[in-house]
Amino acid sequence: MGVRSWFEGWPVYRQLTGTDPLGRGAAAKSDGSRALTARTDTADSVARSVCPYCAVGCGQRVFVKDGQVSQIEGDPDSPISRGRLCPKGSASKSLVTSPLRQTTVRYRRPYSTQWEGLELDTALDMIADRILAAREQTWEDVDTQGRPLNRTLGISSLGGATLDNEENYLIKKLFTAMGALQIENQARI
């Protein structure tokens, strides 16, 4: 490094001669930070998404690197949010990558004091069997005057409101077809 380049690399010099007289940007940049690259620049792909918290519907861009979410940022194109996210929306990456997330099926037997593991397909099968048994035990064909009821009051459901419309559609369709009437969601709360 020559004297000249050493001198020109001095932040005070850069501040006095460059475009950053207040010394809060380019003039103060170190070699270390100059070498940094934004995670958004190195992402393999970007998904256009929507914040999962409140109902404002802020646009999100989900950056993916090596099959993992590497960053979630506000979508500057969105006419709703103009790129902004609140503290919760900004924490979305921490939400989806949280180490506390459960990723395996957990099963608690009646009267048990602990959880145990269970295969997903086995769980699905057991749940299907229990639905059919509950229908069997509680089915009502008609009321006392012979008018159709076609239902079971033995099954209940309460859904959150972070489910997709497509999911709610299948939930309502399937429960209705199985005669399960007591289907509710957060909108009642």
Partner 1 sequence: MAEAHPVGFQWVMEAKRRGAKVFHVDPRFTRTSAVADAYLPIRAGTDIALLGGVVRYILDNELDFREYVVAYTNAATIVSEEFSDTEDGDGFFSGFDPETGTYVQDSWQYEGHEGSSGSGHTAQERDSAAGLTHESHGAQVGGQTRRDETLQHPRCVYQILKRHFARYTPEMVERVCGISQEKFLELARAWTENSGRDRTGMLVYSVGWTQHSVGVQYIRTGAIIQLLLGNMGRPGGGVMALRGHASIQGSTDIPTLFNLLPGYLPMPHHAEHPTLDEWVDSIRHPGQKGFWGNARSFAASLLKAYWGDAATPENDFCYGYLPRMTGDHGTYQQVLNMIDGKIKGYFLLGQNPAVGSAHGRAQRLGMANLDWLVVRDLFMIESATFWQNGPEVATGEIVPEECRTEVFFLPAASHVEKEGTFTQTQRLLQWREKAVEPPGDARSELWFFYHLGRKLREKLADSPLPRDRALLDLTWDYPTHGPQAEPSAEAVLREINGYDVTTGRPLSGFAEARADGSTAIGCWIYTGVYADGVNQAARRKSRHEQDWVAAEWGWAWPANRRILYNRASADPDGNPWSERKRYVWWDAEKSEWTGYDVPDFEKTKPPSYRPAPGASGTEGIAGDDPFVMQGDGKGWLYAPSGVLDGPLPTHYEPVESPVRNPLYGQQANPTRKMYAHPVNSVNPSPPQEHGQVFPYVFTVSRLTEHHTAGAMSRTVSPLAELQPEMFVEVSPDLAAEVGLTHLGWAHLVSGRAVIEAKVLVTDRLTPLRVDGRIIHQVWLPYHFGFEGLVTGDSANDLFGISLDPNVLIQESKVGTCDVRPGRRPTGPALLDLVADYQRRAGITPGQHAPAVTTDDEGKEHGAS
Most distant CA pair in the chain, distance: 102
Task: Show the site string, 79-118: x = touches partner 1 by CB under 8 A, - = not.
Answer: xxxx-xxxxxxxxx-xxx-x-xxxxxxxxxxxxxx-x--x
Question: Which residues, at least 6 apart from 31, have a Cβ–Cβ distance to it below 8 Å?
Answer: none
Q: What is the DSSP letter of 131?
A: H
Asked if residue 71 binds partner 1 (CB under 8 A), the reply is: no
Rounded to the nearest whole angstrom, what is the least distance from the CB of residue 128 to partner 1 in the complex?
4
Instruction: Spell out a b/e string for 137-169, using b for 16 or more CB atoms within 10 Å of the CB, else e.
Output: eeeeeeeeeeeeeebbebbeeebeeeeeeeeee
Rounded to the nearest whole angstrom, what is the least distance from the CB of residue 23 to partner 1 in the complex?
30
Interface residues for partner 1 in 8-27 (CB under 8 A)? none
Q: Name the segment binding partner 1 (CB under 8 A); options: 11-19, 24-32, 33-41, 65-73.
A: 65-73
Q: Name the segment binding partner 1 (CB under 8 A); options: 1-9, 12-20, 21-29, 138-146.
A: 138-146
CA angle 135/138/141 to nearest 5° reads 85
By beta-carbon proximity to partner 1, the closer residue of 18 and 86 is 86
